[in-house]
Amino acid sequence: MTHHPPHTHTHTQTVQGSTTAFVALHRSLTTAKKVAICRLIGKRGGVPKFVGLQPVNVGDDLVLNMVYLPYNEDIRKPHYDKGNPPPSDEQVAAAKKLVGKLVNSSFTSRTIPNPSLQSHYRAIEALAFQRDEVAGFDDETKVDDNDLAMVAEQEIKEAVVMLLPEDYDPFAKLKKP
């Protein structure tokens, strides 16, 4: 399931001239490469929220995506385990080297079919052609461990040595603190 951010649109029947104002706002934000910060009150008597309005072109449609902005008290600091020391420069370098090796700059998600949609399409085909079984498909989103090992075998070994303790057992049960 893909999550789409909430967005705004015009209400010409409710507010006269809202389309003109919306298009003007969208064009000015796009031209200036800016985001509008607004106060949103979802319903009468509702609690105001701050949102950022990000201009987006979806085909021929003009859309302003709403990004809810947190209040200061909504921002939480992560709690770190005080027993673990911070990573050394060598550990950080090993992790960066591993991630750099695994990143594929030519990757685009548009070339990989959505497995959920593909299974849905196969089910519709089976119904349409009155088949008893749904045809399978190759899920290209699953990572092949052998391919990863071929691409970054040396970097993985270095990262394991640098980042994990010598007595690390991935199959050991976690101890509750």
Q: What is the pLDDT of residue 143?
A: 75
Say what percent of the chain tops pLDDT 90: 7
Amino acid identity of residue 78, one-letter, is: P
Q: Is the pTM of this model over 0.85?
A: no
- The whole-angstrom separation of Cα 91 and Cα 162 is 6
Say what percent of the chain tops pLDDT 70: 86
Do 120 and 150 lie in one domain? The reply is yes
Q: What is the pLDDT of residue 77?
A: 78
Do 103 and 62 lie in one domain? The reply is no
- The whole-angstrom separation of Cα 102 and Cα 156 is 10
* Residue where the block lists tokens 């593909």: 118
Residue 84 placed within a domain: no
Does 97 or 77 have the greater pLDDT score? 97
Residue 78 placed within a domain: no
Q: What is the pLDDT of residue 97?
A: 87
Q: What is the pLDDT of residue 177?
A: 55
Does 98 or 7 have the greater pLDDT score? 98
Encode pLDDT of 22-67 as tens digits: 889 999 999 999 999 999 888 888 888 899 999 988 777 888 888 8
Strands in 36-40's sheet, in edge-to-edge order, are 7-8, 61-69, 49-58, 36-40
Task: Provide Rg for the chain, Cα atoms.
Answer: 25
Residue 51 placed within a domain: yes
Domain that holds residue 66: 7-71
Do 53 and 106 lie in one domain? The reply is no
- The whole-angstrom separation of Cα 21 and Cα 63 is 13
pLDDT band at 110 (very low <50, low <70, confident <90, very high): confident
Nearest to 66 by CA among 56, 74, 81: 56
Residue 33 placed within a domain: yes
Does 149 or 67 have the greater pLDDT score? 67
Q: What is the pLDDT of residue 1?
A: 36
Strand blocks (E) in 15-174: 36-40, 49-58, 61-69
Nearest to 94 by CA among 168, 161, 167, 166: 161
Do 95 and 51 lie in one domain? The reply is no
Encode pLDDT of 128-147 as tens digits: 888 888 888 777 777 777 87
Q: 131 CB contacts (<8 Å, ≥6 apart)?
A: 125
Residue 177 placed within a domain: no
- Extract the tokens encoding 167: 């007595």
Examine the pLDDT at 2 and tell me if it is beyond 50: no
Residue 170 placed within a domain: no
Query: Where among 16, 37, 71 does a domain terminate?
Result: 71
- Average pLDDT over the chain reads 80
Averaged pLDDT, 163-171: 78
Specify whether the CB–CB gap between 74 and 66 falls below 8 A. Answer: no
pLDDT band at 3 (very low <50, low <70, confident <90, very high): very low
